[in-house]
Amino acid sequence: MPPLLLIGTRKGVFLLRGDADRASWSLDGPHFLGHLAYHVVLDPRDRRSLLVAAKTGHLGPTVFGSSDLGKSWTEASRPPAFEKLEGGKGRVVDHVFWLEPGAAEERGVWYAGTSPPALFRSEDGGDTWSPVSGWNDHPMWSTWTEAGADGTPDGSILHSINVDPRDTSHVYVGVSGGGVFESTDGCRSWAPLNAGCAADFDPEPNPEFGHDPHCVRLHPLAPDVLWQQNHCGIYRMHRPEGVWQRVGDNMPRDVGDIGFPVGLHPRDPDSAWVFPMDGTDVWPRTSPDGRPAVYRTRDAGRSWERHDRGLPRENAWWTVLRQSMAVDAGDPVGIYFGTTTGQVWGSRDEGESWRSVAENLPHIYSVEVAEPEA
Amino acid sequence: MKVSIPTPLRSYTGAAQVEACGATVAEVLADLDRRYPGIRFRMIDEQDDIRPHVKIFINRERIAALDVALEPGDEVQILQALSGG
């Protein structure tokens, strides 16, 4: 099935349509030129509906949807928004950052993570959204999230929404900063899930929350396996044990295990890819030494292989953000990532070699790979 | 009354100037949203505050809240603030 890359950028949405060999790509776009497009996601349940999380520098946030793979678009009639607070200063959604479809049997259900770090849910394919009160109004929300004040340069965010495919009431989210949180009762109650994870910026050696997950992914075929690229390293968890294991300690010391994204093999829960960045000194957040590389593990993080064939060998000072790495379901799998300098790179051999599949796009926020209906 | 629309919001109206009705700014914006669904939330947040980079003028006087009364023939201008360099 020819893949479709969904690319959210600082200046709009681009779609890259591949051929069956994943060898040639055609660019469609920009859609919503000038919009900050944080995330573009295909509904895997109908394989033709798209949602886009968007805003502009001057206008408020919204969600756009398409039921025909981007040929036409409509705007959500009720975008994610907090309840109006009478007589006080209520919270305001600055932007929608993360979009996540519900489980396979929950047709029409979507989740959205925002800045400040709040959770919203739609039951009609993204047309109308309601606050998830169990998270947004949780008595610990302000404490866990520092009221949304302590976050990334673009604002504290809720991201990495993962729904357990075995149990739709079991949901994980990542909050930057705040940590990983878990609900087992349909988002009504929540608990931190950060044991074993470092928070080097916190004077408390083992805080219960306050961590900075950059990207958390649950393996779809082994849902007890979670991977996390954190501000402080690469982690893996076997959920019944409930403790994050720092598998990034096995990365080369001169590269380190700081980064934003983590991509999972669709069939092998022991295989994953990361894109390290420079987290030393003042945190340049660029490829270490200007030499970008993807690192792959095939043994659950016990060892890592460097893969940079085809990538620039020097003077490439870009970054791959947390939503900007995606893995397809091919055999061998294809991997794609987008850079902050507007390039999209692809690999058809599980990351061993790379080639540019698009250049000169705006600053890339997100890359998703989809298999649309024919 | 006539309402001037800035370029970032013309994807909703298709025009630089449109008609809307109401006895207050809030009512005019509600009427605009009925005619052009979605336009209000792009400029007014969920707490009914004007978004930071949107400015609304009545007869060239800038307003800060939506409960300002309007008279027939008042001129409503919605502007995008100059910000960002």
At A230 the three-state DSSP class reads: strand
Query: Hey, which residues 10-39 in chain B have their CB within 8 Å of chain A?
Result: 37-38
A76 interaction partners in chain B (CB closer than 8 Å) = 38
Give the DSSP letter string of A176-193.
ETBEEEEESSTTSS-EE-
Nearest to A190 by CA among A236, A237, A143: A143
Q: Can you give the pLDDT at residue A230? A: 97
Q: Can you give the pLDDT at residue A184? A: 98
Query: Hey, which residues 61-80 in chain B have their CB within 8 Å of chain A?
Result: 80
B83 with A60: Cβ contact below 8 A: no
Q: Is the pLDDT of residue A204 over 90?
A: no
B83 with A57: Cβ contact below 8 A: yes
User: By CA distance, what is A128's nearest residue in B?
Assistant: B38
CB A110 within 8 A of CB B74: no
Q: What ipTM is given for this predicted complex?
A: 0.92
Q: Can you give the pLDDT at residue A151? A: 59
Q: How do residues A212-247 score in pLDDT, each as one tens digit?
A: 999 999 999 999 999 999 999 999 999 999 999 999
B37 interaction partners in chain A (CB closer than 8 Å) = 75, 77
A59 with B8: Cβ contact below 8 A: yes
Question: Å from B23 to nearest chain A CA?
Answer: 22
Q: How do residues A46-62 score in pLDDT, each as one tens digit?
A: 999 999 999 998 899 99
**Structure tokens given for A317:** 């000072």
Give the DSSP letter string of A125-175.
TTSB-EE-HHHHT-TTHHHHHGGGTS-BTTB-EEEEEEE-TT-TT-EEEEE
> Rounded CA gap, A281 and B28, in Å?
53
Mean pLDDT of A70-85: 97
Give the DSSP letter string of A296-314.
EESSTTS--EEE-BTS-SS
The residue with tokens 């954190």 is: A230
Q: Residue B84 — pLDDT band, cuts 50, 70, 90?
A: low
**Count of beta carbons in the 10 Å neighbourhood of residue A242:** 11
- Enter the pTM of the model: 0.96
Q: Can you give the pLDDT at residue A153? A: 66
A77 interaction partners in chain B (CB closer than 8 Å) = 37-38
